[in-house]
Amino acid sequence: MVALPFLKTDNARSYPRKARRVFDHTVRIADPVMRERHADQMAAIAERRCRNAFSELFSYYAPRVKAFMLRLGAGDAEAEELAQEVMIAVWQKAGMYDRQQASVSTWIFRIARNRRIDAQRRQRRPELNADDPVLQPPEIQTPDETVSREQLDAAVRQRLASLPQDQLILVQAAFYDGLSHSEIARAFNLPLGTVKSRIRLAFMRLKGELEGGI
Amino acid sequence: MTAAPQNSFSELYSAYAAGCIDPAFAMMLEAQSLIRADVRGSVAVSEMIAGNFLEAAPAARMSAGALERTLALIDALEVPVEIQRAAGKSAGDAINELLSLPEPVRSAALDAAGQQGWQMLGLGLKRLKLDVGSYMDVELYRIAAGSRIPRHSHGGNEFTMVLAGGFTDERGTYGPGDVSMNGPNDTHQPVADEDEVCYALAVRDGGLRFTGVMGMVQKLLGVR
């Protein structure tokens, strides 16, 4: 049924994959202005426990986290509950957020992703652990990593914006919806080889390995 | 064994970023990303891509009063709870070694050491079973410096990644971030480096098979 049966958790397989059915073939790119604004709001939550900042962040992200959960096949009530739990985790863990390590959206995405995995697994430890490694980006910086995470994030956004639409939409299906290459091939009615080569090319571009090329 | 096609390289990264990878491989990839800068970069870019799509996504409609209910829950939860890590006496002298392991193995190992503890498997060799929510067996091995592990085979397919120190077997020498793969018919006799304790993370399918993805996992993790 899926290309990578042994990579997916059993629960992921039993989860209804509505993504394939409701797939809207449009793709959007984040507005770079929002990045700093959201990071400032996180700082206000962390430093002053500012409820206004939280409310603003909630207004922006709760509906989008809910959309992410819906997209992955959760029911409306479940998606809303998960979105609420993710936002509570954002409030609780705000002190661990480091704007130099990740954009707010990437940080919240990690929480949302792991929360969803936990929900599917019905783990004994449903609460997000404060020491959850996903909230603690690697601190090791080796000399060859001359580009900071902030610079890399800005570059990835820029490269996403210049990616051809036919690649971008497949990248979204793979990295956001979590579809395997063969699922994507079926959803977009494309030969598997085409899917693989487009995503590979796109990923190389996004990593900056083809700078100036093509 | 299936050889991975050259271009399937990104598939495990996207599965990881989107949360569609088995937790055992997720853990192995996360630990490897702390050891290897190229893997770290690929994981980071994958998550940035996913974060971008979350940020740009059209908003779903929240029910009326969702924010107020969330704020009320926050008030109720506003009692700071420090999560204590009961590392346990069973960790013994190895506790400092566990503390220096790369995440997320470090946390899982501290949890496991506090709960069920280490199993002694022989002179210089002990094992800690980690609970990562996978159907596969995930184990941390500690091999004392210079220890020679008796020749053994493996019940199923097993990926072993060195986290600290190193070992040598008939096929080669493995250091931090290197992954060795053993099938059901392979036997080997690893010897830990003389000067350092070796820690290795093993993911074993315990009867189920990796077939099909084997080649891809191998390629991604750089198995030798």
Domain boundaries along the sequence of chain B: 94-221
Is A175 in Cβ contact with B211 (below 8 Å)?
Answer: no
Mean pLDDT, range A150-178, rounded to an integer: 91
What is the rounded distance in angstroms from the CA atom of residue A65 to the CA atom of residue A111? Answer: 10
Fold type of domain A30-137:
Rna Polymerase Sigma Factor; Chain: A (1.10.1740)
Q: Which residue has the higher pLDDT, B138 or B217?
A: B138
Question: For residues B29 and B16, is the Cβ–Cβ distance under 8 A?
Answer: yes
Look up the pTM and report it. 0.67
Q: Which helix (H) or strand (E) element contains residue B39?
A: helix B37-56
ipTM of the complex: 0.79
Residue of B nearest to A159 (CA): B49
Residue of B nearest to A142 (CA): B37
Q: Which of residues 176-205 of A touch B (CB under 8 A)?
A: 176-178, 180-181, 193, 196-197, 199-200, 203
CA distance B46 to chain A (A): 7
The average confidence (pLDDT) of chain A is: 78
Closest partner CB to B14 (pick from A144, A145, A175): A175
Interface probe for A, chosen from B22, B48, B205 (most Cβ of A below 10 Å), is B48
Percent of chain A at pLDDT > 90 equals: 46
CA distance A182 to chain B (A): 10
What is the rounded distance in angstroms from the CA atom of residue B78 to the CA atom of residue B92? Answer: 35
Domain boundaries, chain A: 30-137, 162-214
What is the rounded distance in angstroms from the CA atom of residue B176 to the CA atom of residue B190? Answer: 15
Question: For residues B11 and A181, is the Cβ–Cβ distance under 8 A?
Answer: yes
Mean pLDDT, range A98-104, rounded to an integer: 90
The class level of CATH for B94-221 reads: mainly beta
Tell me the pLDDT tens digit for each residue of A13-60.
333 344 444 455 567 777 777 888 999 999 999 999 999 999 999 999
CA distance A212 to chain B (A): 18
What is the rounded distance in angstroms from the CA atom of residue B200 to the CA atom of residue B101? Answer: 10
CA distance B186 to chain A (A): 22
Assigned CATH for A162-214 = 1.10.10.10
Interface probe for B, chosen from A99, A106, A108, A152 (most Cβ of B below 10 Å), is A106
Interface probe for A, chosen from B1, B13, B14, B103 (most Cβ of A below 10 Å), is B14
What's the confidence (pLDDT) of residue B103? 80
